[in-house]
Amino acid sequence: DKNEWDYSAQNGPSTWMSKFPMAAGSRQSPVNIETNQVESDHEALSSKPLRWKYPATASRKLVNPGYCWRMDTDGEGTFLSGGPLMDDVYKLEQYHCHWGCSDSRGSEHTVNGQAFAGELHLVHWNTSKYNTFAEAAKASDGLAVLGVFLKVGKTHMEMEKIARLLPYVSHKGEVVEIREPIDPSKFLPDDNGYWTYLGSLTTPPCNESVTWILFKKCIEVSHHQLNIFRNLRKFSRGEECPCHENHGAVINNFRPPMPLGNRVLRECGS
Ligand code: SG7
Ligand code: ZN
């Protein structure tokens, strides 16, 4: 199957470029953020503050695609604009998460070489310029992803709503409809400071279409909540468990940092 990619030694990130040539491009994500090489760009970025709006009813369906958990959203009424996005208006398409096998790794982006326990991604598309998510995903200014680092600490109450539903999508291909509101804005830290750069999707086909906006401040989730993520399975119900490999658990679903090359990392706020 041409679309068979994963995070294993055989089909993992170092092999993606053979089936997905874009993965070998010069604008790939994630990257390591060297904080002393970041350009403060207060004038250009803070002249238009980053602004967002998400109705609590935006979260619609929780999915296990076999390599993460993903919340598909109803973009209606959602809004992201400002900062590096200038006046273009983006809508929320979905949000999902990356994590490790232990709490010492799991994020895709790193800061001064340090990984975090996880990284939440809110994926948006540019509705000012494009008609569909698919069309936007092919354009250099088509997508915007808000990234939030997860560190281990206290139980996150909004994340708890997702954690409680994950056992219903334990196997690949399973979907559960959301009945109680889950508010995406509750996953964003209370401080607005961010780093931004131009990059790509971190999974095949690795389209170079993403304006990345990474919050400097982490949010906390509990060790137990991360363990619930680690209980998701990569295979379908009824399929045989590949018991040799961590019982087919979805873990270490992160791509390692790619070269920044001649790209500029900018920052706004502290
Ligand atoms: C996750 O990250 C999924 C993908 C997503 C990919 O693997 O959420 O989405 C689907 C539909 O499964 O790919 C096109 C897309 O959004 C890459 O997104 S990311 O760069 O933010 N990590
Ligand atoms: Zn992601």
Ligand 1 center to residue 43 CA distance, Å? Answer: 32
| Residue 203 CB less than 6 A away from ligand 1 | yes
Low-confidence ranges of the chain (pLDDT < 70): 1-3
Distance CA 29, CA 22 (A): 11
Interior angle at CA 216, CA 211 and CA 222, nearest 5 = 110
Ligand nearest the Cα atom of residue 143: 1
pLDDT for 41 equals: 76
pLDDT for 247 equals: 87
Under a CB-based contact definition with an 8 Å cutoff, are residues 9 and 16 in contact?
Answer: no
| Residue 201 CB less than 6 A away from ligand 1 | yes
pLDDT digits over 122-167, tens only?
Answer: 999 999 999 999 999 999 999 999 999 999 999 999 999 999 999 9
Q: State ipTM.
A: 0.98
- Say whether the peptide bond before residue 242 is cis (omega within 30 degrees of 0): no
Q: Which atom number of ligand 1 is nearest to the Cα of residue 121?
A: 21
CA nearest to 33, candidates 254, 264, 269, 268: 264
pLDDT for 3 equals: 65
Instruction: Tell me the chain's radius of gyration from C-alpha atoms.
Output: 18
Of 95, 98, 174, 201, the one to substitute when testing ligand 1's pocket (max ligand atoms within 8 A of C-beta) is 201
**Which residues, in sequence order, are CB contacts of 160 under 8 Å at separation 6+?**
225
pLDDT digits over 87-116, tens only?
Answer: 999 999 999 999 999 999 999 999 999 999
pLDDT for 4 equals: 87
Q: What is the DSSP string of the chain?
A: -TT---SSTTTSGGGHHHH-GGGGSSS-S--EE-GGGPEE-HHHHHTS--EEE--GGGEEEEE--SSS-EEEE--TT-EEESGGGTT--EEEEEEEEEE-SSTT---SSEETTB--SEEEEEEEEETTT-SSHHHHTTSTTSEEEEEEEEEE-SPPHHHHHHHHHGGGG-STT-EEE--S---GGGGS-SS--EEEEEE--SSTT--S-EEEEEESS-EEE-HHHHHHHTT-BSS-TTSPP-TTTGGGB-----PPP---TT---EEE--
pLDDT for 44 equals: 82
pLDDT for 107 equals: 99
Mean pLDDT of the chain: 96
Of 96, 99, 229, the one to substitute when testing ligand 1's pocket (max ligand atoms within 8 A of C-beta) is 96
As given in the structure block, the two tokens for residue 73 are: 């959203």
pLDDT for 46 equals: 81
Mode of pairing for the β-strands spanning 143-152 and 210-215:
parallel
Q: Which atom number of ligand 1 is nearest to the Cα of residue 203?
A: 17
Rounded alpha-carbon distances, angstroms, from residue 145 to 117, 199, 210, 227: 19, 10, 7, 25
| Residue 70 CB less than 6 A away from ligand 1 | yes
| Residue 145 CB less than 6 A away from ligand 1 | yes
